[in-house]
Amino acid sequence: MNNTCCCCRCCCCCVREILLIFKLVCLMFCYSFFSFSFLTHLIVLFSSHICSCGICSLEPTPIISLHALILTEVVQLSLAEDQQISVSTVTVGLSAVLTCAIQGTLRPPIIWKRNGIILNFLDLEDINDFGDDGSLYITKVTTIHMGNYSCHAYGYEDLYQTHVLQVNVPPVILVYPETQAQEPGVSASLHCHADGIPNPKLLWLKNGMDLQPRSSKQLSLIANGSELLIGSVRYEDTGAYTCIAKNEVGVDEDISSLFVEDSAKKTRLSVGNMFYVFSDEGITVLQPSECEIHRHMKRTERIVATYEEMCPKGEGVSPQHCVWSSAVNIREKYIYVTQPLLSRLLVVDIQAQKVVQAVATDPFPVKMLYDKSHDQVWVLTWGDMDRTHPTLQVIPQASVGEVHHAIRTTFQRVNDFFIPPTNLIITHVRFAFVFLKNEPAVHKIDLETFHRVKTISLKNYSCIPLSMAYTHLSGFYFIQCQSKSHLQAPPQLLIDSVTDAVIGPNRNVTGQPFVSPDGRYIVTPDQQRSTLVVQTVSFQGELGLYHELDQPVAVSDLAFQPSFTESNQHVVVATSGSGTDLLFADLSSGHTEVLQSLKEPLALQAWPWGGPNRVVVSGGLFGQYLVTPSAESLFVLNGKQRTPHCEVSDIKRGNTIVWVGEV
């Protein structure tokens, strides 16, 4: 046998073992763990193992045992009891160094793990240097890096140290409204929302001076300062009100201005803070607090660019009506909405409240997501009602320019896709994920280049992905797997975004996951057990079970609304896909309320586009109103009082809804 080419003869089953041992040998040499003669002896044994038969055996064979090789030396390791768990705190954007406290004579190389995955041999752009002392270096820490890390000496896994990494984030603040005018004698509310880790504390100033709500019957601070309520405004209440958010690592502030005038009138007609409802009759623009239809664009209205009808009568379609499936808000400037039967989407100018363009797509566009980080809209098309030729298209520069067009990507057989959302803390997203038909894998896509970066196999869990959710806290992806039978649904899978490795099942949680906008709550309606499973991610990156709430409705859709009594808390609002009930659930206390008699939803067969047959849409970060359709009307709900606010009749199949905030 020619030993010089023995490695070329090795079958693929041995390649991973060879690389692992080779890297360990290099580590040992760097740490001067062995003498040169001993290292030579080790390499000879290693070579004889991989070349003994010319090819690798398919049977599992022990490669090298460090215990067997250390013939005369004795390794003695120790870890002080008070160092078994080490908690470190670092501010986002800085670097972190985790040092392993395991000590001893002839200590072997240090192995680091995260969620059970060995980090030493992964090519990670943010964890790439282990140093001479075996420390773990994390460059430019983000919130995905929080969580538990463990270290042990190679060959001695029973003795390990756990490092808990908390990532602190300075506050980021928003106020609402930026400015308002009120007449004397009416009440005025000023709202402030801040995200940060730890939770920021809120403080209000007026014209730079501290407010003293306790000494005033007129002023009230609600929800830990999230709302400043002035009961009956007077002329002297005019001023600049500054909300300041502060935590251990930073401070942020913003100003909300109040003007008290005899005849407070808006200088221009507002087109913001409206719900856009797409129904059979066209587009309805609804002002929720007054239940006022601000504008109605009829189906026969003309598109500005082409002078075509918005919803032309198709062959065999009688009577004429609009068919919509998905809509997205583009930076409070445009709304894009798909018309699957016409193989196009419409662009609605929010300021002008007119349809300005039709963009041609592949046949049957059914789902859109907006990638705010790159200002592009991703469109899933089916090809036909049987989904035989699904494709993904992208519309670049979605918020700029006068003419928009769709670019076809290379992805075929697409079943669905997912783009992680942004929030106050996470303002940029780099990757999307694509699911292909009947394939047990998710494909990681670079949003800038549209190229496939990696395929994460789910084959070991026999999981064909159905839906996906994400929290930036510790970087967990939650995968809902398709059910093979109606009797038993498979549990969700967890993927670590740091390593792109499958961690394993998410307890026994089954169903579609929903994540709160701040990433702190994961809510899953478990239809089989009729429960709402509520999980939380702590500021130290620990995923835990928080509540299991009774779920009296078969959930169709779910929305999060900020709590009106506590800062940095949420209320979940869930609709029924088969009944007239709606569920409110306070995630902090676990308290639930059921709102009844909201009329029947659309029948499932009347909504063939996938997704919920009864959506619920909230009015943004500061809005107290939500909307949800029945088959032939629209309900506006008061989330603060948890009551129906009004019903708008003659809106049929209004199951495509977008909220537009301040414009």
E strand or H helix that includes residue 30: helix 15-30
pLDDT of 31 strictly over 80: no
Predicted pLDDT at 35: 38
pLDDT of 44 strictly over 80: no
Write the DSSP symbol of residue 82.
G
Q: Could you tell me if residue 22 is inside a domain?
A: no
pLDDT of 104 strictly over 80: yes
Please tell me whether residues 185 and 138 are part of one structural domain.
no
Q: Which tens digit of pLDDT belongs to each residue from 554-591?
A: 999 999 999 999 999 999 999 999 999 999 999 999 99
Expressed as residue numbers, the domain containing 105 is 80-168
Q: Could you tell me if residue 467 is inside a domain?
A: no
Q: Which residues pair with 563 in a beta bridge?
A: none
If pLDDT is split at 50, 70 and 90, which confidence band does 488 have?
confident
Structural contact between residues 336 and 324, judged by C-beta atoms closer than 8 angstroms? no
Q: What gap in Å lies between CA 465 and CA 482, rounded to an integer?
A: 6
316 against 118, higher pLDDT: 118
Please tell me whether residues 137 and 213 are part of one structural domain.
no
Please tell me whether residues 134 and 158 are part of one structural domain.
yes
Q: Could you tell me if residue 530 is inside a domain?
A: no
Q: Could you tell me if residue 544 is inside a domain?
A: no
Q: What gap in Å lies between CA 484 and CA 124, rounded to an integer?
A: 35
Predicted pLDDT at 50: 40
pLDDT of 15 strictly over 80: no
Task: Determine the residue type at 368.
Answer: M
Q: What gap in Å lies between CA 606 and CA 334, rounded to an integer?
A: 27
Q: What is the mean pLDDT of the chain?
A: 88
CATH classification at residue 145: 2.60.40.10
Q: Could you tell me if residue 133 is inside a domain?
A: yes
Q: What percent of the chain has pLDDT over 70?
A: 87
If pLDDT is split at 50, 70 and 90, which confidence band does 34 have?
very low
Predicted pLDDT at 196: 97
Please tell me whether residues 103 and 119 are part of one structural domain.
yes
Give Dmax (Cα) for the chain: 101
If pLDDT is split at 50, 70 and 90, which confidence band does 132 have?
confident
If pLDDT is split at 50, 70 and 90, which confidence band does 21 have?
low
Predicted pLDDT at 38: 38
pLDDT of 315 strictly over 90: no
Of 112, 136, 168, the one marking the end of a domain is 168
Please tell me whether residues 192 and 241 are part of one structural domain.
yes
Q: Which tens digit of pLDDT belongs to each residue from 333-375?
A: 999 999 999 999 999 999 999 999 999 999 999 999 999 999 9
Q: What gap in Å lies between CA 355 and CA 335, rounded to an integer?
A: 9
Structural contact between residues 399 and 372, judged by C-beta atoms closer than 8 angstroms? no
Q: Could you tell me if residue 589 is inside a domain?
A: no
Predicted pLDDT at 57: 37
Model confidence pTM above 0.85: yes
pLDDT of 70 strictly over 60: no
Query: Looking at the 3D structure of the chain, how many domains does it have?
Result: 2
3-state secondary structure at position 19: helix
Of 168, 194, 223, the one marking the end of a domain is 168
Predicted pLDDT at 563: 94
Q: Could you tell me if residue 266 is inside a domain?
A: no
Q: Could you tell me if residue 529 is inside a domain?
A: no
Q: Which tens digit of pLDDT belongs to each residue from 439-453?
A: 999 999 999 999 999
pLDDT of 61 strictly over 60: no
Predicted pLDDT at 663: 64
Of 168, 184, 204, the one marking the end of a domain is 168
Please tell me whether residues 136 and 205 are part of one structural domain.
no
Please tell me whether residues 160 and 233 are part of one structural domain.
no
Please tell me whether residues 150 and 181 are part of one structural domain.
no
